[in-house]
């Protein structure tokens, strides 16, 4: 595998792997560290002459093992079944979550802020309006704009798309 190939896999898999790790370790910084460490190990393995047949499966397994190691350090005992084996469903879910977060990141700043305050922080329109010193109508308009843009960004061929929130 060339350095360019590895870079392409890194760009494709980094965010989905981070979303996968985040489900288990519940800490963004730790999940990023675990993913970066997994990529470093993979690169060193390849540099030393190793061969990886399925880089995606290898990386998910490596991140899973990293999560288990980290969780064992945090707890006295940990049953390995706490993190299920990596399957298509887990991979699909991590790619879906990454796609959602990319779409959220592309929202205009104020729109994104209002959207996250509502969906992530659970604030009501009234609470957001008070916090940001704006009208409730502005909050509602920004939420409508955010949901419309997210549906458009996440839909395939304009089919309806359900937005699961974390």
Q: What is the set of domains in the chain, with CATH numbers? A: 3-93 (1.10.1740), 106-154 (1.10.10)
Query: Residue 35 and residue 67: Cα distance in Å, rounded?
Result: 9
pLDDT per residue over 76-132, tens digit each? 655 566 666 767 777 777 777 778 788 888 888 888 888 888 887 788 889 889 888
Structure tokens of 9? 């896999």
Q: Tokens standing for 52?
A: 């990886």
Q: How far is CA 98 from CA 93, 94, 102, 127, 156, in A?
A: 9, 6, 6, 28, 16
pLDDT digits (tens, 9 = 90+) for 49-81: 888 888 888 999 899 889 888 888 887 655 566
Q: Which helix (H) or strand (E) holds 146?
A: helix 136-154
């Amino acid at each position: 595998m060339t350095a360019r190939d590895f870079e392409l896999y890194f760009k494709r898999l980094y965010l989905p792997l981070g979303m996968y790790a985040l489900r288990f370790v519940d800490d963004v910084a730790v999940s990023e560290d675990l993913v970066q460490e997994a990529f470093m190990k993979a690169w060193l393995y390849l540099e030393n002459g190793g061969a990886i047949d399925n880089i995606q499966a290898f990386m998910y397994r490596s991140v899973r093992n990293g999560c288990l190691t980290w969780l064992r350090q945090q707890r006295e005992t940990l049953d390995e079944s706490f993190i299920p084996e990596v399957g298509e469903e887990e991979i699909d879910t991590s790619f879906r979550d990454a796609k959602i977060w990319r779409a959220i990141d592309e929202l205009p700043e104020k729109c994104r802020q209002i959207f996250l305050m509502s969906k992530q922080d659970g604030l009501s329109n009234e609470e957001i309006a008070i916090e940001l010193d704006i009208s409730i109508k502005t909050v509602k308009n920004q939420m409508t704009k955010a949901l419309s843009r997210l549906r458009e960004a996440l839909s395939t061929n304009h089919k309806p798309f359900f937005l699961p929130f974390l």
